[in-house]
Structure 1
Amino acid sequence: MSPIKDLDIIYQVLNEDGTFSAGDTIIGTVTFTLTKGTKLKSLFVKAKGDARVHWSEGTGDNKQSYSAHKRYFKVKEYLLEENGEGNNLQEGEHHFKFSLRIPHEDMPPSFKGANGSIIYALEAKVSRSWRWPSTARKELNLVSKSFPYIDQALCPQSGSVNKDVGVFSKGEVQMSASVNRKACSPGDTLSVFAQINNSSSKQIKPKFSLEQKTVYRAGGSTHNGLETLFKMVCDPIEPDTEETASCSVTVPDTAIYSLHNCDILSVEYQIKVYLDISFAVDPEVVFPLVIVPPSFPGFCEDVETYPTDAMGAPSGNDFPAAGFPIGVYPVPSGSDACAYPTPQPTQQTNITNGYNDQGPQNPTQYGFTDAVIMPPSVQYPSPAVPPQYEQGQGSPS
């Protein structure tokens, strides 16, 4: 029976939410109890970060498995140097302090999904000669410092679409849609508007949804997962009718943060405004959305108004866009699924991309068109280097 009992890792929490970021220093203590005097070969603690994906396709002889692994960092510190003759420790409790620094590099946040994960962890190992080592492990919650267009978080987006209703009817429908944010945090509420002109002979039904798309990559293949986090269906719009529908979209508190800076997996979000038309392809306008931690540097909620000319209809289209009123955005209330605000004057919209982006646009490799707009680099202060300790006195070198 091993004389090593209650091996544990205790570390200091730097942030109120218990998270770490690249460049942070992890300060803690490895503790254990010896039931008798023991010779230990070595004692070390390490921090590491790994991303893994795995999935299978097909059945029987045609079944094929895909997997990929990426290591982001590993730092290691010996608290008792390796000694073939053994380090003599007395019976009782023992405490060894350590200090490990997470590299100041661009790393994705912690993540666990159906077919992959990104895990950051602390591990401690106590070794004895000719014995199985004793180990302890604790996971760390790491958040990324890199998010697309976070500097434009409070900028609105808009877009328009015109479409014939198909061969089984006549006429066309026009829709201008807008959303008041490009980025938000879990628990936030977004305002989404859609002005619809139903010039067809069919009844149409406006719908709003918030979707999460997860993409796993390995060996040149991809595996996609799509989950609808929110959906609202409005009252039907009759033929030859023009109405403006709106709804408030609340991001679930359990929503994970957007993940774009990992080679083998990504997590993206989109708000979709579309029209349900029977026996026809549903016209839609899609807005990319970035979900970030509430305490993300530079991400603020103190802007209450937006310029009234921020949204617009496409060039050559006299159909007015669903603009936002001056002041705080209204949020529909009560049992009604939709509300109908008065549209405001707007500017021209980029109909090619489907929404009016107020900043530069770059294509993304992760699935949603124009979903990633990288912000200017932001410099973050490096944490203070913790004090050093004497080796052999329960502290790191």
Structure 2
Amino acid sequence: MATTCKIEFENNPRKVVYAGQLLKGTVRLHLTKAKRVRSLYIRIHGRAYVHWVDGTSDNRKVRVFTGNEDYFSERTNFVGGYTGEVRLSPGTYSYTFQCLLPPNLPTSLETEYGYIRYTARVVLDVPTWSDKSFAVPFTVIKMVDLNNFPRLRQPVEVEKNDTFFICCILCCCSSRPMQIVARVPVGGYTPGQFINLEINVNNHSGQSISGFNIHLIKRIKFFIHADSVRQKHLTYVLAKQYVDYSNEEVTTRVDIRLPSVPPTDLSASNIIKFGYSIRITACVSCCYNDPVLEVPITIGTYPLQDNVPPLNVPTLHPHSIQVNAVADPITPLLPSNNVVLQQPTNRTNYSTLSYPSTSNAPLSYPDSEDPPTYEEAMQLSEAADNEFRPVYPCEEAMQLSEAADNEFRPVYPVFKRSTSYSSGNSIH
């Protein structure tokens, strides 16, 4: 019988930990025969890694780009140290460990081009043979309380004005404008909530709209190092719906339920950044380009609370949005020709937060509120729409995961509650 090792987190079977929280656990090692080791230790490690290939397998100009970033690494010795030898007799050994996670860790993420991954690895350091190790991945979540960003309570409104080039026998001219306004009641949501999207059309162009294609989009940007010009982009469709449009006098409403996805984060990691938006495409005649709008949204880990007085600020319109400078500015991931709101950086004061030890509900919530469930991340490679899904050249060269971690999928908090700004009873 081979040597076995089991790594358990204290009162935390889902292995979910928030950045800044104290991680506690137990290691149970079973040896079937005596071993001489230099040390027996556990290493808690967090890192990001990216890898992509430009070119094709039959192209001599194929280039491989990789990057990595370490966030922390903490080693705790159970037996021995860095020198000498210790003999371990056959039997079962039990050890406890704890590790205080840094407060600004990025949220766990797994993608085709890279990952942000955290592992607890027990190592038998054998001086005359290869080391024996046992690894367990776990989810780290960066706390993004949407209530810390008051402007997210304001409606987000994006306007698109299009004209169409019309030609007749004698002349060519532009049509009268078609105005499309997309609006969401607030700028921030959590997984499990519904985004109540409203679309209004003021159409004087003479061109009819048959319907709207609506996509909930996640954009990821990969860098080989901080401020690198070498970048790779992924665009995923998390949810999609087609809505018929026949009565131009009626507001069209679409309820989009957010799946289990990580919170918006454009600042914690230097090599992987991601954000979210709603893409609305108006379907007009095949002779013209379809008008497209994108509404930026912020996804957090704790929802906006009801019954909080709103700020005395105007509704966000495309021609009145002003982004205030911040100490650590970030670049939104939406195309530059769209109206974009500055995504907030997480300014939670972790020194004032009281984190309990790891448990089934990693953070405490008021008794009057339902705590979140923790659900596995949406499988993006299966859900991506063909219109947006990228093509991966030389996929056989992209070995991003160790064998022990291939089946790991992070879990994220999902809130199933209705609020004044989020309601719905079906999944689209």
Gaps of 5+ in 1: 312-348, 387-397
Q: CA deviation at 1:304?
A: 9.3
Q: Which residue of 2 aligns with 1:28?
A: 25
Contact 1:48 1:122 in 2 (8 A): yes
Deviation per residue, 1:268-312 (Å, 9 max, x gap): 11012342233334333322112223xx3xx3443499899964x
Contact 2:188 2:304 in 1 (8 A): no
**Are 1:273 and 2:280 counterparts?**
yes
Q: CA deviation at 1:20?
A: 1.1
Q: Which residue of 1 aligns with 2:110?
A: 112
CA–CA distance in 2 between the matches of 1:89 and 1:197? 78
CA–CA distance in 2 between the matches of 1:57 and 1:309? 46
**Are 1:71 and 2:70 counterparts?**
yes
Contact 1:257 1:292 in 2 (8 A): yes
Q: Which residue of 2 aligns with 1:166?
A: 165
Q: Which residue of 1 aligns with 2:189?
A: 184
Q: Which residue of 1 aligns with 2:149?
A: 151
The amino acid across from 1:127 in the alignment is D
Q: Which residue of 2 aligns with 1:205?
A: 210
1:261-300 mapped onto 2 (5 Å cutoff): 261=267, 262-278=269-285, 279-293=287-301, 296=302, 299-300=303-304
**Are 1:373 and 2:340 counterparts?**
no
Q: CA deviation at 1:217?
A: 1.5
The amino acid across from 1:223 in the alignment is K
**Are 1:351 and 2:318 counterparts?**
yes
Q: Secondary structure at the match of 1:66?
A: strand
Deviation per residue, 1:147-202 (Å, 9 max, x gap): 78852344321132222123457222112221022121222111111111111121
Q: Which residue of 2 aligns with 1:321?
A: none
Q: Go from structure 1 to structure 2 and tell me whether the alpha carbon gap of 1:128 and 1:209 turns closer, same or farther (over 3 Å shift).
A: closer
**Bigger radius of gyration among the two:** 1
Q: TM-score, normalised by structure 1?
A: 0.74
Contact 1:205 1:233 in 2 (8 A): no
Give the alignment partner of residue 217 of structure 1, picking from 216, 220, 223.
Answer: 223
Q: CA deviation at 1:17?
A: 5.9
**Are 1:258 and 2:224 counterparts?**
no
Contact 2:28 2:94 in 1 (8 A): yes
CA–CA distance in 1 between the matches of 2:311 and 2:246? 29
Give the alignment partner of residue 57 of structure 1, picking from 37, 54, 58.
Answer: 54
Q: Secondary structure at the match of 1:62?
A: coil
Identical pairs, percent: 18
CA–CA distance in 1 between the matches of 2:198 and 2:313? 15
Q: TM-score, normalised by structure 2?
A: 0.69
Deviation per residue, 1:66-106 (Å, 9 max, x gap): 111100110111111237552233321111222222223x1
Contact 1:154 1:303 in 2 (8 A): no
CA–CA distance in 2 between the matches of 1:271 and 1:61? 39
Q: Go from structure 1 to structure 2 and tell me whether the alpha carbon gap of 1:192 and 1:41 turns closer, same or farther (over 3 Å shift).
A: same
Gaps of 5+ in 2: 168-173, 335-339, 359-428
Contact 2:211 2:245 in 1 (8 A): yes
CA–CA distance in 2 between the matches of 1:248 and 1:305? 25
Q: CA deviation at 1:138?
A: 0.5
CA–CA distance in 2 between the matches of 1:101 and 1:186? 27
Q: CA deviation at 1:375?
A: 5.7
Deviation per residue, 1:4-58 (Å, 9 max, x gap): 61122222146x8642122222222222222234433211111010101111111
Q: Go from structure 1 to structure 2 and tell me whether the alpha carbon gap of 1:36 and 1:371 turns closer, same or farther (over 3 Å shift).
A: same
Q: Which residue of 2 aligns with 1:226?
A: 235
CA–CA distance in 2 between the matches of 1:83 and 1:212? 45
Q: CA deviation at 1:229?
A: 2.1
**Are 1:135 and 2:141 counterparts?**
no
* Matched positions, count: 335
Contact 2:21 2:357 in 1 (8 A): no
| More displaced stretch, 193-202 vs 206-215 | 206-215
RMSD between superposed Cα atoms in Å: 3.2
Contact 1:361 1:372 in 2 (8 A): no
| More displaced stretch, 374-383 vs 110-119 | 374-383
